[in-house]
Amino acid sequence: MKEHTEEHNVKEQLDANTRSQIKNFGKILNDNNDFLLVSHHDADGVASCAIIIDLLKFLGKNYEFKILRQLDSAIIKTISAESKSKCKSVIFTDMGSGQIELISENFSDKKIFIIDHHLPQQEYLKTEIEIKTENLKIEHVNPHIFGIDGAFEVSGSGMCYFVARELGRKNLVDIAIVGAVGDMQDSSGKLIGVNREILKDGIKEGVIKFKKDIRLFGRESRPLPYMLAYATDPFIPNISGSENSAADFLLSLGIKPRNDDGWVNYVDLKFEERQKLISALYVRFLNVSPYAAKSLVGEVYTLLKEKKRTLLRDAKEFATLLNSCGRQKMPEIGIHICLGDRDEMFKNALSVLEAHRLMIRRGIEYLKINGLKESKKFYYFDAKGAIDENVVGIIAGMSYSSLNLNRDKFIVGLADDSEDSTMKKVSARANLDIVKKGVNLGDLMREGCWIVGGEGGGHSIAAGARIPKEGVGKFLEILGGVEI
C-alpha cells in the first residue's frame, strides 16, 4: 500500500499503460447510456460531477445526477431503489472505491462505473480497471491501482478529467484544478504528481496560469483589509477579526487600502508592496505558528477565463464557493457554476457562501470559548449540536493550521448527526510530517468503525466517519488511547 509520496516514485505524468486503461474505461462508458451520476458534496465531488456531466452532454447521453454527503449502506439502498426503472448505468465519482462490495450487492441490474481517488479495499488494489464481483462487473478507475497516491497526487476531479480527455473532451480542465485545490492536494505548497499533468494541459489550453504568491483567501476578490481581517485559514495574529487592525497594519507598511478607484485588492498591489506585506505577515505568524508562516506563500492557480478581481479567478476561492454550495445542501448551484453559469446561479452561490462563512465563524467562536481537549496522540473537541456536522471537518482543519498546536498530534472534531440523533459525525485532520511518520487517518477511521460500528474512511491526511453515539469513547480510544 502506498501511503505517502516518499515511498514511491512520484510520477508527474500518466504512463502509457494507465492511459490505455483509462481510454478503455472511456470506451465502455461511451457504449452505455441513461446514466445516474452520483458524487460527493465537497468541492472535489462537485467539480467531478460537473466534469462528467459536461462529458455526457458532449457524448449526447441521457443523465441525472445526485450529490451525497456520504455513501453508506442505507443511502446505497435508497438510490438503488429509486433508480430501478429510470437508469441503466450508474457512475460514482469522488466516492465508491471504498464501497465496492455494497455497490455490487445493490446494483446487480446496472452497469457500474467508479471514478474515485480514495483508497480502495486491499483486495481491489491490485486489479485492473475491471472488477468482477459475484454479481457483476464494475469498471473502476482509481489512481491507487496505477501506483499513484490519490491523497496527494490526483483528486477525484483529476481522474474524471483524465477519463474525459481520453474521450476527446478537455473543456473543464480548469475545473479539475479547482477540484484538486479544493481537495487540499496543494497542501505541500504546490500541486504534485499527475496533478501537474492536468496543470500543463490547462496552461496549453490557455485557461490556467500559476505562480508563487500569498495563499490567503481573497487575494483576487477581497479588499485588502477584508482579506486580512477575515483570514481564517490560518488566522492572522492580532489582525483576524478586526478590519481596523488590518487597515492600521497596512498603513504601517505604507500600503493604502483604498485609492482613487476604490478598494485595493491584493492582486492590485505592485510587486514591492506584495513583498513587503508578505514579509510582515511572515513575522507575525512566526511566533504563533511556524507552520502557518511556512504555508503563507506557495503556488496559486489563476483561472484565465474568469474576470479579474472576481472570486472565480482564483482556484482556491472557486473551490471554497463549490464547497459551500455542497455543504449548504445546494450542490446543483455549484455544478451550474462549473458548467459556466455566471448569472442567476452565481448570485445564488454568493449568498450560499455568506451563509457558509457565518456557519464557520460561529463554529470558530464556539471553539474559542470551549477550547480543545488534548490526548497523547491528538487534539479533539465534541461540539455536539453547536457546530453543523457538514463543517466540523473544515473547522477542525482551520484550528489545526491556525493555533499553535503540537504538530506531532492530529486533530479530531465531533458533532451530532443532524439526521440521526443516535449517531455522531467524526472528522480528523493530520499534517504531512506525521503522515510520513506513519499516521493514517483513513485506516484509523476504518478500524474504529470496524469495532464500534458505523462507516468511515478517507485519506491518510484527512478522514471522517459516522459512528453510533455510545461508541464515541471506544472510538477515541482506538484513535490513540484516551480516557474520556
Binding site for Mn ion (CB under 5 A): 44, 94, 156, 183
CA 206 → CA 11, 124, 201, distances in Å? 23, 38, 9
* Minimum distance from residue 155 beta carbon to Mn ion (Å): 5
* Minimum distance from residue 441 beta carbon to Mn ion (Å): 14
* Minimum distance from residue 40 beta carbon to Mn ion (Å): 6
Sign of CA dihedral 147, 151, 153, 155: positive
* Minimum distance from residue 198 beta carbon to Mn ion (Å): 14
**Cα–Cα distance measured from residue 468 to residue 414, given in angstroms and rounded to the nearest whole number:** 12
The phi, psi pair for 355, rounded to 5°, reads: -60, -40
Query: Which residue's CB is nearer to Mn ion, number 250 or number 315?
Result: 315
* Minimum distance from residue 65 beta carbon to Mn ion (Å): 16
The beta-strand segments (E) located in 273-408 are 297-303, 373-374, 378-382
Query: Which residue's CB is nearer to Mn ion, number 39 or number 402?
Result: 39
* Minimum distance from residue 47 beta carbon to Mn ion (Å): 9
Q: What residue number has its CB nearest to Mn ion? A: 44
Q: 65 with 36: CB under 8 angstroms?
A: yes
What three-state secondary structure class fits 144? Answer: helix
Query: Which residue's CB is nearer to Mn ion, number 3 or number 44?
Result: 44
* Minimum distance from residue 156 beta carbon to Mn ion (Å): 4
* Residue 18 CB neighbour total at 10 angstroms: 20
* Minimum distance from residue 236 beta carbon to Mn ion (Å): 28
**Cα–Cα distance measured from residue 259 to residue 284, given in angstroms and rounded to the nearest whole number:** 26
Q: 108 with 77: CB under 8 angstroms?
A: no
184: which 3 cell numbers? 487540499
Query: Which residue's CB is nearer to Mn ion, number 44 or number 220?
Result: 44
* Minimum distance from residue 44 beta carbon to Mn ion (Å): 3
**Cα–Cα distance measured from residue 131 to residue 141, given in angstroms and rounded to the nearest whole number:** 10
In total, the chain counts a number of residues equal to 484
Helices first, then strands: H and E counts in the chain: 18, 16
* Minimum distance from residue 393 beta carbon to Mn ion (Å): 12
Query: Which residue's CB is nearer to Mn ion, number 63 or number 92?
Result: 92
Query: Which residue's CB is nearer to Mn ion, number 46 or number 59?
Result: 46
Query: Which residue's CB is nearer to Mn ion, number 21 or number 93?
Result: 93
Query: Which residue's CB is nearer to Mn ion, number 194 or number 452?
Result: 194
Q: Are strands 378-382 and 410-416 parallel, antiparallel or unpaired?
A: parallel
Q: What is the 3-state secondary structure (H, E, C) of 350-379?
A: HHHHHHHHHHHHHHHHHHHHHCCEECCCEE
CA 87 → CA 36, 107, 176, 395, distances in Å? 6, 11, 26, 38
**Cα–Cα distance measured from residue 263 to residue 277, given in angstroms and rounded to the nearest whole number:** 16
Query: Which residue's CB is nearer to Mn ion, number 29 or number 43?
Result: 43
Q: 211 with 205: CB under 8 angstroms?
A: no
**Cα–Cα distance measured from residue 257 to residue 49, given in angstroms and rounded to the nearest whole number:** 39
The phi, psi pair for 127, rounded to 5°, reads: -80, 165
Burial readout 261-276 (b: 16 or more C-beta within 10 A, e: otherwise): eeebbbbbbeeebbeb
* Minimum distance from residue 48 beta carbon to Mn ion (Å): 7
Query: Which residue's CB is nearer to Mn ion, number 44 or number 201?
Result: 44
Query: Which residue's CB is nearer to Mn ion, number 44 or number 314?
Result: 44
DSSP 307: P
